[in-house]
Amino acid sequence: MDRIRIVGGRRLEGTIPISGAKNATLPLMIASLLTKDTLILDNVPRLADVSLLQRILGNHGVDIMVGGKRPGGKLDDGQTLHISAANIVDTTAPYELVSKMRASFWVLAPLLARIGEARVSMPGGCAIGTRPVDLLIMAMQRLGAQIEIDGGYVVARAPRGLKGAEIVFPKVTVGGTHTAIMAATLADGSTLIENAAREPEIADVALCLNKMGARISGAGTRRIVVDGVGKLSGARHAVLPDRIETGTYAMAVAMAGGDVFLQNTRADLLQAALDVLTRTGAAVTPTNQGIRIARNGADLRPVDVTTAPFPEFPTDLQAQLMALMTRARGTSQIVETIFENRFMHVQELARLGARIQLHGERATIEGVERLTGAPVMATDLRASVSLVIAALAAEGETLVNRVYHLDRGFERLEEKLGRCGAAIERLSG
């Protein structure tokens, strides 16, 4: 099992290219099931979750061709996938695959919409919480699907197709919004989705679906209308930049000190996080090619932040901010309102010398003068990168174990940080 070794104390200088968004790539790949034509996706990040979803789609009979190297092409350009779901031969998504990557549960929607049946394993919980899918099932039922739970599988049928309906989500759910939109694109009639998630990835997927012939309006707002059409066609779409990767590296620079340009990304994707970073004392300068982040000697100031759905501060940057605040001059408060167990990184940060108290959903971080390197263990995707951020400012050597969590969501992390001067290397085995 690979580990990552970091020796702290180095400033970061240079440029970090931001990859395509994991949380747009996954639903975009799943959307390919809605048409028999080929969907071409550009700027796809090279991530373990993308490879796993290729396997899952392959199990349904989907052919995926990965574009080869092109003259003048660079690793930083991302990869191009040609995805063809011309013949769906199996409408079952098995437990052994779905349990590895929750978002694969979302295949329920396009299989129902296009084929009229699906048998998808319940994803089960994960490190950060129980992660129920009751609202995704509710949305499918509102569209006319008959659903039963049998042996841990959601068995869904819509023999006469799906019918447009009004879907009101009692709480904001990204997966619920993605699945409601995808299913509604081929439903008979119009669907209204109320209290929809407003994350940028929702609008990116809707943009691609509209290129495929869907008729979606309001994506990115609380109220989305989808007018069903008879079928969807192929299209070509470039995945939008990853706002969580952007925010992660911005916090790494603020932690280590230095001056780095985050290339091929957009400030509007994570404005709330950038505003928090400015409050900590980092200099944040958006340009039309990306975002410049600098901190040269200024103290880190404490902040109070509560996570919430977009456009507020994202839960997927909570662990990274907590790592940064371990070195602030003062006491910070972070409240996690989205997931019930997303403080798994606290114990590991404490091993590096951080002082963090937990009271339910509230974490109180008392800034310390110094962190000291130690062996630590990653527990989930974003918790693992918070340990890397802390290690960049810790004295001595830190070994981050179980880096397969990192590889799920951060493409070539050690290369991107190493190119900016970090003392970081991957130890195989």
**Between 27 and 373, CB nearer to ligand EPZ:** 27
CA-CA distance, 418 to 293, in Å (whole number)?
A: 17
| Residues facing 426 on adjacent strands | 4
Q: Which of 52, 126, 308, 335 is catalytic?
A: 126
Q: Which stretch binds ligand EPZ (CB under 6 A): 88-96, 134-142, 371-379, 421-429?
A: 134-142
Judged by CB under 6 A, the residue of 132, 189, 330, 375 near ligand EPZ is 132
CA-CA distance, 55 to 73, in Å (whole number)?
A: 26
Provide, rounded to whole angstroms, the least separation between the CB of residue 428 and ligand EPZ: 25
Q: Which stretch binds ligand EPZ (CB under 6 A): 39-47, 60-68, 72-80, 169-177?
A: 169-177
The token pair that represents 341 in the structure block: 């167990």
Size of the residue set binding ligand EPZ (CB under 6 A): 23
With beta carbons less than 8 A apart as the criterion, state whether 82 and 64 touch.
yes
Residue 228 burial (CB < 10 Å; 0-12/13-18/19+)? buried
Q: How far apart are the first and last CA of the chain?
A: 5
Judged by CB under 6 A, the residue of 31, 133, 270, 349 near ligand EPZ is 133
CA-CA distance, 196 to 240, in Å (whole number)?
A: 20
The token pair that represents 394 in the structure block: 């810790």
The answer to whether residue 382 forms part of the interface with ligand EPZ (CB under 6 A) is: yes
Binding mask 393-412 for ligand EPZ (x = CB under 6 A): ----------------x---
Classify the C-alpha dihedral 396-402-407-409 as positive or negative: negative
Q: Using CB atoms, what's the residue nearest to ligand EPZ?
A: 175
Judged by CB under 6 A, the residue of 112, 186, 338, 352 near ligand EPZ is 338
Site for ligand EPZ in 312-331 (CB under 6 A): 315-316
The answer to whether residue 200 forms part of the interface with ligand EPZ (CB under 6 A) is: no
With beta carbons less than 8 A apart as the criterion, state whether 381 and 47 touch.
no
The answer to whether residue 100 forms part of the interface with ligand EPZ (CB under 6 A) is: no
Provide, rounded to whole angstroms, the least separation between the CB of residue 231 and ligand EPZ: 26
Going by their DSSP bridges, the two strands 375-377 and 397-401 should be labelled as: parallel
Judged by CB under 6 A, the residue of 249, 339, 343, 410 near ligand EPZ is 339
126 is catalytic: yes
Binding mask 174-193 for ligand EPZ (x = CB under 6 A): xxx-----------------
Cα 235-237-238 angle, rounded to 5 deg: 165
**Between 292 and 382, CB nearer to ligand EPZ:** 382
In the block, residue with structure tokens 């962190």: 371
Provide, rounded to whole angstroms, the least separation between the CB of residue 124 and ligand EPZ: 12
CA-CA distance, 354 to 398, in Å (whole number)?
A: 14
**Between 239 and 394, CB nearer to ligand EPZ:** 239
Q: Which stretch binds ligand EPZ (CB under 6 A): 11-19, 112-120, 168-176, 289-297?
A: 168-176
The answer to whether residue 131 forms part of the interface with ligand EPZ (CB under 6 A) is: yes
Burial 43-78 (b: 16+ CB within 10 A, else e): bbbebbbbebbbebbebbebebeeeeeeeeeeebbb
Cis amide bond preceding 241, omega within 30: no
With beta carbons less than 8 A apart as the criterion, state whether 383 and 389 touch.
no
CA-CA distance, 6 to 392, in Å (whole number)?
A: 7
| Chain residues in the site for ligand EPZ (CB under 6 A) | 23, 26, 102-103, 129, 131-136, 171, 173-176, 315-316, 338-339, 381-382, 409
Active site residues: 126
